[in-house]
Amino acid sequence: MTRSRLLPLAGFALTAVALFAVAPAVLSDFRLSLLARYLCFAIVAVGIALAWGRGGMLTLGQGLFFGLGGYAMAMHLKLADAGPDGLPDFMLLYGTGGELPWWWEPFRSPVFALAAVLVLPMTLAALIGFLVFRRRVRGAYFAILSQALAAAFALLLIGQQATTGGTNGLTNFQGFFGFALADPLNKRMVYFVIAAALLAVLLITRQLFHSRYGELLVAVRDSEERVRFLGYDPALVKLAAYTVSAGMAGLAGALFVPAVGIISPALIGIVPSIQFVIGAAIGGRASLAGAALGAIAVAWAQTTLSEEFPAAWTYFQAGLFIAVIAFLPGGLASLRHHLTRRRTRATRPRPPTGTPAAEGAPA
């Protein structure tokens, strides 16, 4: 096995050990639940690494898909808490006339809800992507559109307070598929589910990166027209990456709900949507480990530093973000690459100047 194949495998094993053995043993219940929250952001970041890092689609609206997954899960948990024929508590408060809206009804079924967590965001992303990529809307146009969609979704949720909980969102969940969420042991279980999901997402994305499809995706990013002239349909290639990344965001949103206990418009609007991108950008947009670790680190720094020094943290975060994007577009993950390249350039003797073609030319 070559070094290039061994290294990611070792990294993956190391991550698995850290997530499943070290973290639960070292961290308190509170810290572990915080980590669970960061891991959800990491799942979103992996999707962004796929769509943006490899596919060149700067998606500033992952909050939309995160929210769809989150609300699908939250609606089911609310209905399960209320029992058969019961209404979620907030609906009694705002008064929907004692009726459950029709679009809430299917979420009583756990199977439907779990399927919706992936199917809803992916279907919507496929629809948006189909409409947008087919007409070659891209670059900044796509970024702005995706951001506007996330903003509109948040606004829509706020506006429909009686059926969506409005600004407060959905919160106060008692159980998670029969397990009481108040029990710390079950909280740990949720953490393990999230860690497993992150590992699965990392594996899938790595396979995608190294498949022929992954090569094609990078080709589309770097020169869409050339790929088109070679006979491929760039719209379909981009569509697939965008849809998969939406599915990941949906999954993350769904897992976020039992881990943190709330989903609300404030967690999915413009600002959180860009926060998702910040983590991936600082860590390294095209690198799986970079994006995931970046998301975790930024989320961790956000909770620890912003509580103590809110103003200084904003300056620091914005400054770091600007510096990385402007001067190190590959993110911190590319630092190693920059360093090793510099070293090899310094030590290796310069290649001979005369090229074979020149030497072979008739004198």
Partner 1 sequence: MTVLIGQSFTGISIGAVLLLIALGLSLTFGQMGVINMAHGEFIMSGAYTTYVLQQHLTDAGTSLLLALPAAFAVAGTLGIVLERTLIRRLYTRPLDTLLVTWGVSLLLQQLARDIFGAPNVQTSTPGWLTGRITLFGGEHPVTLSHARLFILTLAVAAVVALTLTLRLTPLGRRIRAVVQHRELAEASGIATARVDRTTFFIGSGLAGVAGVALTLVGPIGPTMGTNIIIDAFLVVVVGGIGRLRGAVVAAFALGVLQALVEYSTTVSLAKVTVLIAIVAFLQWRPQGISTVRTRSLA
Smallest gap from residue 52 Cβ to partner 1 (A)? 8
Residue placing its CB nearer to partner 1 in the complex, 177 or 309 = 309
Which of 30, 94, 177, 315 touches partner 1 (CB under 8 A)? 315
- Measured over the CA atoms of residue 299, residue 281, residue 45 and residue 201, the dihedral's sign is negative
Query: If binding is defined by CB under 8 A, does position 301 make contact with partner 1?
Result: no
For residues 285 and 331, the answer to whether their CB atoms sit within 8 Å is yes
Contact between 129 and 242 under an 8 Å Cβ cutoff? The reply is: yes
Q: Which of 16, 114, 145, 193 binds partner 1 (CB under 8 A)?
A: 145
55-74 positions binding partner 1, by CB under 8 A: 56, 58
- Percentages helix, strand, coil for the chain (3-state, rounded to 5) are 75, 0, 20
Is 270 a binding residue for partner 1 by CB under 8 A? The answer is: yes
Structure tokens at 139: 């670059």
Using CB under 8 A as the binding rule, whether residue 128 contacts partner 1 is answered as yes
Q: What's the closest the beta carbon of residue 319 comes to partner 1, in angstroms?
A: 7
Considering only residues 105, 215, 222, 225, which one is a binding residue for partner 1 as defined by CB under 8 A?
225
147 lines the binding site for partner 1 (CB under 8 A): yes
Sign of CA dihedral 145, 151, 152, 153: positive
# residues near partner 1 by CB under 8 A: 42
Interacting residue with partner 1 among 277, 289, 293, 299 (CB under 8 A): 277
Choices 41-49, 92-100, 147-155, 202-210; region in contact with partner 1 by CB under 8 A: 147-155
Binding status of residue 11 toward partner 1 by CB under 8 A: no
Ramachandran region, residue 248 (left: φ > 0; alpha: ψ -120 to 50; beta: rest): alpha
Choose one: 15-23, 69-77, 298-306, 325-333; the region binding partner 1 (CB under 8 A).
Answer: 325-333
Q: Under the rule (CB under 8 A), what is the footprint of partner 1? A: 56, 58, 128, 131-132, 135-137, 139-141, 143-145, 147-149, 151-153, 155-156, 158-160, 225, 270-271, 274, 277, 281, 311, 314-315, 317-319, 321-322, 325-326, 329
